[in-house]
Amino acid sequence: MAYATQITTGSHSGLSARFSLLLTNFRAGIARRKVYTQTLRELGSLSNRELADLGLNRSIIRRVAYQAAYEA
């Protein structure tokens, strides 16, 4: 009597999972960078008076944009 056994090591599924995670992280990074640049552009276009109304000044625009994209 003969037995047939199928053994799968999961190496292909592990590789595809890693690639999928890498692709997901890459897309998330692009989305974060887009939020950063859009926020930076919008805040940079405001006048000093408008920034003061928001409680901001020009020296902290980059920090606010960074927080909006990467720390939220």
Query: pLDDT for 22-65, tens place per residue?
Result: 999 999 999 999 999 999 999 999 999 999 999 999 999 999 99
In a domain, 12, yes or no: no
CA 56 to chain CA centroid, nearest Å: 25
Provide the number of structural domains found in the chain: 1
Report if residue 48 sits inside a domain. Answer: yes
Sign of CA dihedral 22, 24, 29, 30: positive
Q: What pLDDT, on the 0 to 100 scale, is given for residue 11? A: 53
Asked if residue 39 is part of any domain, the answer here is: yes
pLDDT at residue 7, as a whole number: 63
Residue 17 lies in a domain: no
Q: Which residue's entry shows tokens 């992280």?
A: 25
In a domain, 38, yes or no: yes
Residue 67 has pLDDT above 90, yes or no: yes
Domain that holds residue 52: 27-70
Tell me, yes or no, whether 11 lies in a domain: no
pLDDT at position 23, please? 96
Residue 46 lies in a domain: yes
